């Protein structure tokens, strides 16, 4: 069995957005009990991560780390058509994930209790982000 | 066909643990000849990587690199509930993989000859780590 | 339905190689309309990324960033059997992807308009790189 669905999220500046519930809803709708759920983001300046879901400081520390690792406006970068956060957003995407693959077990996302699914917006302004969710199994 | 199995590993401090044989055993048990094998770790402070399997120095160099990139006890981090290796473990996980996807060909993991599958424990103490392996194919 | 095919690419030194067309050809040949396409590279010193496909400066900036992050010949590294780019190539691979997973929708790779599929050669000399493409769906 294959189930595929498209989702659209509005982001409101750089940071992480918890999309675990929306992914769970798609898995439930699929009626697939055992298999693989693939989540894919169709952009090169926003990405997907699995991250600790209890203390929000984890995600702000993560963003602070990335800001230090890939500084906005770094003179190393020649590509800056869309501003100082343009090239850093591409690099942050490459260093994280465009696609997450999660097991489906007993009809649910088989995540650890501390794992949340996050869309990470790397641009500093607002965007519409298109995702697709594909579930294969039985 | 879908085959799903759960594995549990004991880690004994930060470092890489070769789990290639255990994954091969699950693939063999599945009887699937052609398809995809997904390995998933249900934690946010340990991760999965494919890495060179011949010279153990590659993995110690890799850990040394990560230690320099994401220093334990870095004053940038506010989240330190579980000690100086807490937030670095989350970041190291995000920079690597929570899920590996490997092709199955002729009933075996279709890895390159130098590729090994490793669980990377990022915490400095001992843990039990839960993995799931899902194989889809025919 | 499962379709699996092997591809071989020649690289000519460090840099990114657009393989989007070759992947599209495999998907078309599979006749699968809806599913998941997994691309896997059987090496530990070359990797796969999805990256912005319009301005080539994005990929040269990306390589410049990686060169600064993981310097060739860094005295931190003990593993240098094959030269100053040996250990950096392994680290660059671990920080990016050995496997890409892309949704298949209406018989095509469901990429965003700015997303291209790239093989990233991390060694400074020429190599033959083996990839496998596995598509599962209906």
Sort out which chain C residues have CB atoms less than 8 A from B110's CB and list them.
40, 42, 132
Determine the length of chain C: 138
For residue B40, being part of any structural domain is answered with yes
CATH number at residue A72: 2.60.120.460
In a domain, C51, yes or no: yes
CA distance C12 to A59: 39
pLDDT band at B116 (very low <50, low <70, confident <90, very high): very high
Q: Which of C107, C87, C23, C16 is nearest to C53 (CA)?
A: C16
How many domains does chain A fold into?
A: 1
Which pLDDT score is estimated for C84?
A: 98
Residue A90's H or E segment, with its range, is helix A86-95
Residue A106: burial class (beta carbons within 10 Å; 0-12, 13-18, 19+): exposed
Compute the nearest-CA separation of A95 from chain C (Å).
6
Q: Enumerate the residues of chain B whose CB falls inside 8 A of the CB of residue C4.
A: 34, 103, 105
State the nearest Cα–Cα gap between B74 and chain A, in angstroms.
Answer: 10
The proportion of chain C whose per-residue pLDDT surpasses 90, expressed as a percent, equals 99
Query: Does residue C6 fall inside a structural domain?
Result: no
Q: Does any CB of chain A come closer than 8 Å to the CB of residue B95?
A: yes
Residue C89 lies in a domain: yes
Is C10 a member of any domain? no
Indicate if ipTM > 0.85. Answer: yes
CB proximity under 8 Å: B 49-78 to C:
49-52, 55, 57-58, 60-62, 64-65, 68-69
pLDDT in tens, C52-109: 999 999 999 999 999 999 999 999 999 999 999 999 999 999 999 999 999 999 999 9
Touching check for A22 and chain C: CB below 8 Å? no
pLDDT digit string, tens, across residues B28-73? 999 999 999 999 999 999 999 999 999 999 999 999 999 999 999 9
Domain span at residue A88 reads 2-137
In a domain, B104, yes or no: yes
Percentage of the residues of chain B whose pLDDT score is greater than 90: 100
- Residue C95, in any domain of the structure: yes
Strand stretches in chain A, DSSP E: 2-12, 15-18, 35-41, 46-52, 99-105, 108-109, 115-121, 126-137
**Which of C49, C56, C58, C117 is most worth mutating to test chain A (most A CB atoms within 10 A of its CB)?**
C58
What average pLDDT does chain B have?
Answer: 98
Round the average pLDDT of chain A to a whole number and report it. Answer: 98
Q: pTM of the prediction? A: 0.98
Q: Which of A7, A68, A134, A137 to mutate to test the interface with C (most CBs of C within 10 A)?
A: A134
Domain-located, residue B9: no
Sheet holding C35-41, edge to edge: C2-12, C126-137, C35-41, C99-105, C108-109
Substitution target in C31, C52, C67 with the highest count of A β-carbons within 10 Å is C52
């Amino acid at each position: 069995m294959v189930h595929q669905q498209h989702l659209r999220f509005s982001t409101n500046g750089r940071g992480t957005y918890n999309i675990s519930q929306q992914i769970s809803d798609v898995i439930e709708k699929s009626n697939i009990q055992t298999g693989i759920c693939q989540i894919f983001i169709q952009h090169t300046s926003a990405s997907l991560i699995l991250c600790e879901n209890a203390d929000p400081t984890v995600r702000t520390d993560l963003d602070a780390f990335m800001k230090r690792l890939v500084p906005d406006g770094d003179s190393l970068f020649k590509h800056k058509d869309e501003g100082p956060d343009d090239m850093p957003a591409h690099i942050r995407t490459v260093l994280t994930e465009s696609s997450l693959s999660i097991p489906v077990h007993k009809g649910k996302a088989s995540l650890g209790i501390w794992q949340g699914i996050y869309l990470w917006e790397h641009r500093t302004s607002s965007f519409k982000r298109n995702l697709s969710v594909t579930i294969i199994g039985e």
